[in-house]
């Protein structure tokens, strides 16, 4: 009973918070449009982003057809991954899928406020269970969901120092949302540990930060920074500072990411009918800048400089990684969809993991043409 009451209170706080910091929405300057090419917001002299979308789509769609008992909606992969105007329809190797490599140790870093929602579990929990069954070592690193990236980078370093063999282990780090920002800060701040990182996968990563952080900052600090401390500790209270676009992009401009790491980016955006109710107001706020957003981040803010772009998933910021639609019912589900729908995370996880293994084998001699920043 206590847990249910706390959850209701937390949802109330979220709804109240959004209502306070937002008002009547201005008219959107752009229409929702996928007839434009993929775009990247990056700093001058950033390394180019490589286009892995055709190969990722080929792997994803071919494997999805083999899922036994899957619904037609799940098997229709064209509705799950946006095809923007510049994606080559015919490109993509038809090579066999790579063998699994259980020698990789996988660590997942969750997003902002993750410890405030323990009932949701770790990001990609079903995918974790699937890969664990194939022999992979997968752990979630506990960060402080209301702390800034510098502090959480230290927590990542402390966790890895205790969990890995410094002589032999090769690491794959998977970040979700602000967890990606935390990973990037870790790679720069702790080069000795970072030397064992083979790859980083960003899923809906807050790479450039979000315009919402600036908008919400004052209200968060005044009303919500110390709210519900028994449910999630306030930490250093710098979570939104780390997510300000001016802060994170200045950090990217001042720090070079390690070149030995292979980076991969999976971004998300959806049209408004596919956005969870609780995210609709923030979606509308971001839509004044660009309607191709996921309710928290604009699509071009989610791509690591120098990474391989996997694609743009058609879902909102929460549904790509967490069972929000299942756990929170009305508030977690989209407004206009007639039935309960949830992004097929368990299948998606498997497929982009196959792509990452494939890219390990191809990366040095099969560089694709870079997307202009």
Q: Which two tokens stand for residue 363?
A: 């990366």
DSSP element (H, E) containing 10: helix 2-21
List 137's β-bridge partners, or say none. Answer: 105
What's residue 327's pLDDT?
85
What's residue 131's pLDDT?
78
What's residue 9's pLDDT?
54
DSSP element (H, E) containing 194: helix 191-194
What's residue 71's pLDDT?
56
Alpha carbon 322 to its chain centroid, in Å, reads 11
Burial per residue of 156-189, b for 16 or more beta-carbon CB atoms within 10 angstroms, e otherwise: bbebbeeebeeeebebbbbbbbbbbbbbbbbbbb
CA separation, residue 135 to residues 99, 100, 106, 125 (Å): 13, 9, 11, 16
- Give every residue of the chain whose pLDDT is below 50, as ranges: 2, 20-26, 362-370, 372-373
How far is Cα 192 from Cα 84, in angstroms, rounded to an integer? Answer: 39
Q: What is the pLDDT of residues 46-91, one digit of tens each?
A: 999 999 998 888 888 877 776 665 555 555 777 889 999 999 876 5
Nearest Cα neighbor of 213 from 316, 287, 289, 296 is 296
- State the Rg of the chain over Cα: 19
**DSSP β-ladder status, 81-82 and 308-314:** antiparallel
The helix, strand and coil proportions of the chain, stated in percent and rounded to the nearest 5, come to 40, 15, 45
| Sequential DSSP letters for 35-71 | SS-------TTPPPEEE-HHHHHHHHHHHHTT-TT--
Burial per residue of 284-306, b for 16 or more beta-carbon CB atoms within 10 angstroms, e otherwise: bbbbeebbbbbbbbbbbbbbbbb
What's residue 31's pLDDT?
80
Cβ-in-10-Å burial (0-12, 13-18, 19+) of 197 comes to: buried
Instruction: Give start and end residues of each alpha helix (H) in the chain.
Output: 2-21, 53-64, 72-75, 125-132, 149-163, 178-189, 191-194, 211-219, 239-243, 245-254, 280-287, 324-328, 345-362
Chain position carrying tokens 């083999």: 66
Chain position carrying tokens 């982009």: 352
Which option is the CATH number for 41-83+105-371: 3.40.50.1970, 1.20.210.10, 1.10.3720.10, 3.40.50.1820?
Answer: 3.40.50.1820
Contact 297, 252 (CB under 8 A): no
Give the CA dihedral 260, 86, 249, 170, nearest 10 degrees: -20
Chain position carrying tokens 């990684």: 321
Domain limits, the chain: 41-83+105-371
What's residue 364's pLDDT?
39
End-to-end Cα, the chain, rounded Å: 51
How far is Cα 257 from Cα 249, in angstroms, rounded to an integer? Answer: 13
């Amino acid at each position: 009973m206590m847990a249910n009451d706390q959850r209701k209170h937390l949802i109330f706080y979220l709804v109240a918070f959004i209502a306070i910091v937002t008002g009547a929405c201005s008219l959107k300057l752009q229409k929702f449009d996928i007839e434009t090419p993929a775009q990247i917001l990056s700093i001058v002299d950033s390394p180019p982003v490589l286009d892995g979308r055709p190969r990722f789509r080929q792997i994803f769609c071919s494997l999805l057809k083999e899922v036994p008992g899957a619904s037609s909606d799940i098997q229709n992969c064209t509705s799950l991954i946006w095809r923007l105007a510049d994606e080559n329809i015919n490109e993509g190797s038809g090579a066999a899928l790579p063998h699994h490599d259980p020698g990789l140790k996988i660590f997942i870093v969750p997003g902002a406020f993750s410890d405030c929602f323990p009932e949701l579990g770790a990001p990609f929990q079903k995918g974790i269970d699937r890969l664990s069954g194939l022999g992979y070592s997968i752990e979630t690193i506990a960060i402080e969901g209301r702390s800034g990236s510098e502090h959480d980078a230290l927590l990542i370093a402390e966790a890895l120092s205790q969990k890995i063999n410094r002589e032999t282990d090769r690491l794959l780090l998977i970040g979700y949302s602000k967890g990606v920002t935390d990973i990037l800060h870790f790679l720069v701040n702790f080069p000795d540990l970072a030397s064992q990182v083979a790859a980083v996968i960003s899923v809906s990563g807050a790479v450039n930060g979000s315009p919402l952080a600036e908008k919400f900052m004052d209200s968060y600090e005044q009303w919500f920074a110390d709210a519900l401390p028994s449910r999630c500790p306030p930490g250093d209270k710098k979570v939104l500072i780390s997510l300000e676009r001016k802060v994170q992009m200045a950090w990217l401009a001042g720090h070079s990411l390690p070149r030995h790491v292979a980076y991969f980016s999976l971004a998300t955006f959806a049209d408004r009918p596919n956005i969870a109710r609780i995210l609709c107001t923030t979606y509308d706020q971001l839509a004044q800048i660009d309607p191709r957003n996921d309710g928290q981040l604009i699509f071009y803010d989610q791509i690591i400089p120098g990474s391989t772009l996997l694609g743009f998933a058609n879902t909102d910021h929460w549904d790509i990684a967490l069972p929000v639609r299942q756990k929170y019912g009305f508030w977690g589900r989209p407004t206009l969809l007639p039935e309960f729908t949830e992004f097929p995370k368990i299948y998606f996880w498997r497929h982009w993991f196959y792509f990452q293994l494939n890219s390990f084998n191809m990366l040095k001699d099969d560089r694709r043409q870079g997307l202009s920043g």
